[in-house]
Structure 1
Amino acid sequence: MRFIKRIVVGNDNPKNLRTEAEVQEAMELVNRCLNSTPRGYILNVEKSFGLYNIGEHQVVLQYAVYHVGFARKPLFLDER
């Protein structure tokens, strides 16, 4: 592997919550990395969750981090 792309899917920062559209966009990027040319391979998946107190409310945030490896950097990642 010469290039590894790290993609966060979900909310990992309680101060900067991602919208549903941003989460869906990240998942579409993971799918594009795995299905287009050059084909990427999942090297690792980190799954995490956290309990946070925001004001009087307790919030649970979950996210997954995909590490996708490539033989060379795909051109479609430069477009972003």
Structure 2
Amino acid sequence: MSSNNFQMTNIRFIKRIVVGNDNPQNMRTEAEVQEAMDLVNRCLSSTPRGYLLNVEKSFGLYNIGEHQIVLQYAVYHIGFERKPLYLDDHVAA
């Protein structure tokens, strides 16, 4: 067994990543949603490795004119022992 166990006290940086559409006034394209999911996967598999702390799942029901739309999204909270350098290049959403 590895002695490198996950400890909440070691978490120094938390990245919040929204995957999906959470604002009917600012709809994200499929490419932007895929980019957010790719960032989640990179955070969980790259070095330094992130730890999935929480996932918020939500939806909203909106009336726009005569149309009714449903927006779904998930918010991933990923904790790190130190901030990864690749997140400095990523523009905050």
Task: Please state if 1:12 is matched with 2:38.
Answer: no
Q: Does 1:65 align with 2:64?
A: no
User: 1:43 — aligned with what?
Assistant: 53
Counterpart residue number, 1:53: 63
TM-score (norm 2): 0.85
CA distance in 2, matches of 1:29, 1:58: 31
Letter in 1 for 2:51: Y
Offset at residue 79 of structure 1 (A): 1.3
Amino acid corresponding to residue 68 of structure 2 in structure 1: Q
**Counting strand residues as a fraction of each chain, which structure ranks higher?**
1
Q: Report the count of equivalent residues.
A: 80
Aligned-pair Cα RMSD in Å = 0.4
Which structure carries more relative contact order (alpha carbon 8 Å, separation 6+)?
1
Q: What runs of 5+ residues in structure 1 fail to find an aligned partner?
A: none
Query: How far apart in 2 are the matches of 1:55 and 1:19?
Result: 21
Counterpart Cα distance in 2 of 1:26 and 1:55: 29
Q: CA separation in 2, counterparts of 1:4 and 1:10?
A: 19
Could you tell me the percent identity over the aligned residues? 85
Decide which structure has the larger Cα Rg and report it: 2
